[in-house]
Structures are given as C-alpha cells and as structure tokens.
Amino acid sequence: MPSRPTSDANFADLGRSIASDLDRITQIYTDLQRPLPSYEIDSPLDFPVEVQQLRQQVLDATLQLQQLLLGPKESLFLWARNNLGTIRAVSEFDLARSFPVGETATFAEIATTCGLPEQKVRRIIRHAATEGIFREEPQGVVRHTAASRMLAEDQVMRDYIDVHYTEMLPAMKETPTALRRWPNATDPAQTGFSLSQPPAHPTFFQYLTSQPDRARVFASAMSTYSTGPENDVSHLRDGYDWSSICDGGGGSSSSSSSSSSSSEGVVVDVGGSTGYVSLALAQAFPGLRFVVQDTAPTIAQAPVATPPGEHSRVQFMAHDFFTDQPVHGADVYLLRMVLHDFGDADCVRILRGLVPALRDGGRVVLNEFCLPEPGSVGLLEEKQIRTMDMNMLSLFNSRERDAADWQALFAQADPRFRWGGVTKPAGSNLSVIQASWWHHSSSATAE
C-alpha cells in the first residue's frame, strides 16, 4: 500500500521502508538485466512495469522525509521559491541544443551559440545543474545529463514546458485575482487564464482556435499525458474490454456518416486531439476502427499520411462537440481528459450532444481522473490529481470530479444513461468511467 504522511511518521520507519523498497527495486533491475537509472545521457527514459508500485512507495516516502527534514519554514520556501526563470531560460535560449548530445562545450561556446553573455549562461547552467539538467565536469566543461538530453531530443517535452510557461503559469498567477473578482464563477471566461490573456481570448479554447501555432503546441503537450507511467495510454488499452466490441462483439456498429465495415467495432474519440490515443489503440486492436474528432485547427495538426496498418483505421474529422454527434451508432464514444476541462453545465451539453447518435446499448467511456478520498492514495498521486484540479480551476473554471460527480453528470444529461461504474487500472492515475444508453429504460437491465 502507498504510504501517507501520518502524525507518527518518523525518520527511522521512513528510512527503513525506503531502504527495503530500494533493495527490491535494485533486485528487479538485476533480474531484468536492465541498467539502473542515473544522470548519464544513456540512462533509460522509462521504468519497468515491475517496479512501478515500489517506485511510487519510495517517491511518497522520500517526499515525506524531505518535508519532515526541511520543516515547515523551508518547505514553504521551497514551494514558493522561484526556480522557474531558470528552466524557462534553458528552454527559451534552447541551451540543451546548443551543443550535441555526447559532446562537451565551454560556457563561452554555449554563449556564442545562444547569443547570451557568457557570465549569464554560466549562472543559468550552474543553477540548472542543481536539478540534474547538465553537469559541469571538470570545472568549465559542460556535459549533457539524461535530463538535458531529453530537452535536446524530445520536442514533446519542449512543448510541454512551453505550454507551462506561456499559458498555464500566467493563468495560475492571475487565479487569486479571478477568485476575488468572480468568487462563484463557473464561466470559462472568468478565469485566471482570461485575465492573463488579451480580452480577445476570454476562454482557453477560443484562444487555441484563433492561434493554430498554440493549438499545435498544446496538442503536442497533451500527448505527454499518454506516455508518462501513470497516464500511459496502455492503461486505457488494458483497462477496458475493447475485445467486447471487436468482430461484432458490441452488436451493430453501423455509422450513418462513416464507411464502417460491419465486422469492425467503431470508436469515436471525441475531443481526441491529434489522434495519438486512437492510433495506439488501433495498433493493439486490429478489429477496431476509430474516428478522431476535434476542433478544425487541432485536426489540421493530425498526421496527414495514412500508411497501411493502424493509420488506415483511424479517420479524422473536425467536429464541435457542443453540436449533435454526426457519427451514429458507434460502439463506444470515448472522451479522454475532455470533460474535466468543462463545468457541469457544459459537460451536460456535451453528453446530450451524443444522445441523438446513440444506439441501444451504445457506450460512453470516459478516461479521466476520479478524485480519491483525501489520504486514500499515495501522496504523490494525490498531489498530481489535486494539482490538475487547480489547473482546471485556473484555465477553465472546471474541476476534477469524484465517482458520485461523474454519475450525477450522466443522470443529469439523460435519464436513459445507465451508470456502468468506475475502474482504475493498476498503476494508472486515470480511471475508466462507463455508461451505456438505452432508449427504453427497461432494456437497460438486459445489457
């Protein structure tokens, strides 16, 4: 079980549990003949699934140990202290790509490449190195680490940092002002984000629609939520019975506006961004076909090539989900991390937009956070979910929801929805939330 801060948490217990879990992790790496994580540029970027639970326990315990050892004053300093200028400067001046991975550079060489004075480059890089981004060895010679290599080679990670600084942080900074001005607001135009942007873009999605370059960066940043260990799309792949809708398992799968083969299950990925979730699911389930829907600017960023294989079973369609769903009779309407961006009234509108397209037994599957009871999950997991909840407040005036909230949304949208419950795949931060729709409520019992 994940450990949590308790009033009797003490150094000795935390230290013992960390040491014993680390021994077990090391043994697993040895058995798998995999190198242990390090700062080196060839350090593995992911973690074997076998260590996930133990890793989570150690992270929780070290977080508690750090809080206890810092004490309240330094913990608060650490929360408030500003390291952000440094990572932003590394990103803005593209320092990670200022010299090749595997080679070294002097501060003067980096300064020439990035156009900043040497003395400022030195200060930025030496501060970044305290977070494991770059290493100076020997003095005056800069080398890459696993983290600086990732910044150099991973465009998605650079986009994630870009969104963080360009949209999310300014929105978070203005959130207290928005709360003071509109304390009871649920309107997405009365947020920290609205105050942080020119008045032409009162809501986040209006802003993205009018700025295709930012829509691209946001879609790319969102794709990190399909690759991190806790949000990996594999949890959705393995955590829902997709085979039940392959090869006719889900009943009729005809679609009024798409060319479905009758034996293929059809999944409509509503608000599916550039389709990375559908592409991953298509790869795993050859018997499924996907229609990815999103706003026109986002769909314009989707992969254009349609090579054989999974791509040929993934179709893209611009569709505003506040209007009636054009693909009728699909087996599953999937909404992954979509409804948490919207307040209850808008969620109800989005779910009602599906109803005219739903056939008897048609399913709506959400892949969303489901708020835990405080203290019922690991500290790090709870921190991540509640951080996301605060992001939802500052960007959209929306919120993360618990199981009862999700159930209530379906009931409010249409009484013919039958609640299918919430499951949380092991190791996943996101839950699978299900409902089916039945024209006559009596048929629902026959499902």
Ligand X SMILES: C[S@@+](CC[C@H](N)C(=O)[O-])C[C@H]1O[C@@H](n2cnc3c(N)ncnc32)[C@H](O)[C@@H]1O
Stretch that binds ligand X, among 164-172, 267-275, 389-397, 408-416 (CB under 6 A): 267-275
Distance CA(55)–CA(61), nearest Å, equals 10
Q: By CB under 6 A, tell whether 341 contacts ligand X.
A: yes
- Residue 186's nearest CA partner among 349, 337, 374 is 349
Q: How far is CA 264 from CA 246, 247, 261, 305, 357, in A?
A: 6, 6, 6, 22, 18
Query: Which residue matches tokens 């989900």?
Result: 321
Choice between 29 and 205, CB closer to ligand X? 205
Q: How far is CA 267 from CA 43, 203, 323, 357, 410, in A?
A: 37, 29, 18, 13, 19
Q: By CB under 6 A, tell whether 222 contacts ligand X.
A: yes
Q: By CB under 6 A, tell whether 58 contacts ligand X.
A: no
Residues 287-306 that bind ligand X (CB under 6 A): 294-295, 298
Q: By CB under 6 A, tell whether 194 contacts ligand X.
A: no
Q: By CB under 6 A, tell whether 325 contacts ligand X.
A: no
C-alpha 197, offset from chain centre = 23
Q: Binding marks (x or -) toward ligand X, 200..219, rule CB under 6 A?
A: -----x-------------x
* SS3 assignment, position 15: helix
Number of residues that bind ligand X (CB under 6 A): 18
Choice between 93 and 369, CB closer to ligand X? 369
Among 158, 214, 336, 401, binds ligand X (CB under 6 A): 336
Angle between helices 52-80 and 379-396 (to 10 degrees): 50
Catalytic residues: 340
Choice between 23 and 320, CB closer to ligand X? 320
Q: By CB under 6 A, tell whether 159 contacts ligand X.
A: no
State the minimum distance, in angstroms, from the CB of residue 214 to ligand X: 11
State the minimum distance, in angstroms, from the CB of residue 276 to ligand X: 7
Using Cβ positions, the residue closest to ligand X within the complex turns out to be: 271
Greatest Cα pair distance in the chain = 76
Strands of 216-264, DSSP E? none
Q: By CB under 6 A, tell whether 273 contacts ligand X.
A: yes
Q: By CB under 6 A, tell whether 432 contacts ligand X.
A: no
Choice between 114 and 392, CB closer to ligand X? 392
Q: By CB under 6 A, tell whether 239 contacts ligand X.
A: no
Q: By CB under 6 A, tell whether 271 contacts ligand X.
A: yes
Supply the DSSP string of 57-109, one letter for each residue.
HHHHHHHHHHHHHHHHHHHHHHHHS--HHHHHHHHHTTGGGSS-TT--EEHHH
Stretch that binds ligand X, among 34-42, 51-59, 116-124, 271-279 (CB under 6 A): 271-279
Q: How far is CA 291 from CA 152, 260, 331, 366, in A?
A: 33, 10, 12, 16
Question: What does the binding site for ligand X look like in residue numbers (CB under 6 A)?
Answer: 205, 219, 222, 225, 271-273, 277, 294-295, 298, 320-322, 336-338, 341
